[in-house]
Amino acid sequence: HALIYDVARLERGLAQAKGLHFYVDIIEPLPAWLLGDSVRIKQILLNLANNALKFTEYGSVTLHAEWAEENLHLSISDTGPGIPEASQARLFQRFEQEQGPQRNSGSGLGLAICRELVGLMGGSIDLQSRVAHGSTFHVRLPLAIPEQPALSPIWPVESVALRSLRLLLVEDDATVAAVIRGLLERQGHLVRHVGNGLNALAEVEQGTYEAIFLDLDLPGVDGFQIAQLVRQCEDSDRRIPIVAVTARSGGDEELRAREAGMDGFLRKPLTGEQLAEALQRVVA
């Protein structure tokens, strides 16, 4: 229950900004505790919910949860434009994206990662959609009910938070930026968001930031170049920690980020725990 409502709490701000409703539908009885990877499950739900909110212009998005046949069933439903049947089979392939109504931005990478994570947990993910009738992504996870639940299954974010920090977030996707900013502000940090590298450089020159979260795939000047420019302009007695953020997978991005002068590396989708731990490593 806590995980589901945590996801809803993070997503409702985005929904309200677009004039949408975000509903939670839990079919009881749902076990109070289940044995599984809560961080990855939350990543999957946040990714699916973000996509639903991104492509839905009117109506609502609903997070549904129930326990049936020894499986946790989760689904994200929207009232968006829907996806043509001919395109649904390709949607979970890396970098594949339907070019129908409202599908004109981003890549399919997030759905590919969701499918891989669900598969590693022994579960399944599938899609039901009709053009003009919305979409529903169904996730089935074969989780166990622990005999004696642990008192604290997730390392609390507060245990790794250093203090309130002034942070610069450089991210061109407004939806992703809103999620990351919300996660950081929830930890007590002050976050300034800019959407491109040139604005980031201006902020670094004019502001006093204690760390930067820098997307690698920015329009125009990319994150690697921005990091190099920041390092060239810094005074010898002060070095701003930079954490790379990317949706890329399986390449040499982390090595290139280090060579460009970045101190940390994170892959999307992100959780509050990952952000907090990255901050602790680079700021401490």
Asked whether residue 115 falls in the same domain as residue 12, the answer is yes
Asked whether residue 8 falls in the same domain as residue 133, the answer is yes
Full residue range of the structural domain in which residue 96 is found: 2-141
As a whole number, mean pLDDT of residues 240-250 equals 88
Res. 256: pLDDT tops 60:
yes
Asked whether residue 243 falls in the same domain as residue 270, the answer is yes
Asked whether residue 106 falls in the same domain as residue 185, the answer is no
Which CATH number is 82's domain given? 3.30.565.10
Question: Residues in the chain, how many?
Answer: 284
User: pLDDT per residue over 151-185, tens digit each?
Assistant: 444 434 443 445 788 999 999 988 889 889 988 98
User: pLDDT per residue over 120-139, tens digit each?
Assistant: 999 999 988 888 888 999 99
Which CATH number is 250's domain given? 3.40.50.2300
Asked whether residue 133 falls in the same domain as residue 243, the answer is no
Which among 267, 222, 265, 219 has a CA at the least distance from the CA of 244?
265
Res. 243: pLDDT tops 60:
yes
In whole angstroms, give the CA distance from residue 213 to residue 89. Answer: 34
The backbone torsions φ and ψ at residue 101, rounded to the nearest 5 degrees and listed phi first, read -55, 130
| Tokens representing residue 208 in the block | 């006093």
Res. 96: pLDDT tops 80:
no
pLDDT of residue 99: 44
Res. 87: pLDDT tops 80:
no
Provide CB contacts within 8 A for 228, sequence distance 6+: 260, 261
Asked whether residue 60 falls in the same domain as residue 85, the answer is yes
Which among 268, 243, 232 has a CA at the least distance from the CA of 191?
243
Cα dihedral 6, 247, 134, 9, rounded to 10, equals 10
pLDDT of residue 146: 85
Q: Judging by DSSP bridges, how do beta strands 60-68 and 21-27 pair with one another?
A: parallel
> DSSP labels for 134-181?
-EEEEEEE-PBPPSS--S--S--GGGT--S--EEEEE-S-HHHHHHHH
Evaluate whether residue 17 is within a structural domain: yes
Let me know: does 121 contact 37? Beta carbons within 8 Å. Answer: yes
Coil, strand or helix at 140: strand
Residue 229 has a CB neighbour count (10 Å cut-off) of 18
Average pLDDT of the residues of the chain: 83
Torsion sign over Cα 173, 249, 39, 119 = positive
